[in-house]
Amino acid sequence: MSLSPILYTENVSKRFGGVVALDGVNVHVSPKMLTLVIGPNGSGKSTLINVIGGILRPDGGRVVLNGRDITKLPPHARFRLGLARTFQTPQLFTSLSVLENVLVPMHEYYEERVLEILLRNAWRLREREYIDRAFQILRLLNLDHLWDAPASDLSGGQMKLLELARILMSDPRVIVLDEPLAGVNPSLANEIMGYLTSLRSELGVSFLIVEHRLDIALKFVDYVFAMHQGRVVAEGPPDAVVKHPAVIEAYLGG
Ligand X SMILES: Nc1ncnc2c1ncn2[C@@H]1O[C@H](COP(=O)(O)OP(=O)(O)OP(=O)(O)O)[C@@H](O)[C@H]1O
Using CB under 6 A, which of the segments 13-21, 28-36, 63-71, 215-223 binds ligand X?
13-21
Asked if 43 interacts with ligand X (CB under 6 A), we say yes
Asked if 16 interacts with ligand X (CB under 6 A), we say yes
Q: Tell me the C-alpha distance between 11 and 144, whole Å.
A: 42
Identity (one letter) of the amino acid at 215? Answer: D
Q: Which of 9, 38, 44, 232 binds ligand X (CB under 6 A)?
A: 44
Q: Tell me the C-alpha distance between 22 and 186, whole Å.
A: 31
User: What's the closest the beta carbon of residue 5 comes to ligand X, in angstroms?
Assistant: 22
Using CB under 6 A, which of the segments 27-35, 45-53, 113-121, 132-140 binds ligand X?
45-53
Q: What does the DSSP 8-state code read for residue 71?
A: T
Its sign, for the CA torsion 29, 161, 104, 177, is negative
User: What's the closest the beta carbon of residue 162 comes to ligand X, in angstroms?
Assistant: 24
Q: Tell me the C-alpha distance between 156 and 144, whole Å.
A: 17
3-state secondary structure of 211: coil
Q: Tell me the C-alpha distance between 172 and 79, whole Å.
A: 8
Asked if 42 interacts with ligand X (CB under 6 A), we say yes
Nearer to ligand X, 163 or 179 (CB): 179
Q: Which of 35, 47, 190, 206 binds ligand X (CB under 6 A)?
A: 47
Q: What does the DSSP 8-state code read for residue 97?
A: B
Asked if 166 interacts with ligand X (CB under 6 A), we say no
User: What's the closest the beta carbon of residue 179 comes to ligand X, in angstroms?
Assistant: 8
Asked if 30 interacts with ligand X (CB under 6 A), we say no
Question: Are residues 38 and 227 in contact, defined by beta-carbon separation less than 8 angstroms?
Answer: yes
User: What's the closest the beta carbon of residue 110 comes to ligand X, in angstroms?
Assistant: 37
Using CB under 6 A, which of the segments 4-12, 34-42, 79-87, 126-134 binds ligand X?
34-42
For residue 232, count CB atoms less than 10 angstroms from its CB and return exposed for 0-12, middle for 13-18, buried for 19 or more: buried
What is the binding site for ligand X (CB under 6 A)?
A: 16, 19, 21, 39, 41-47
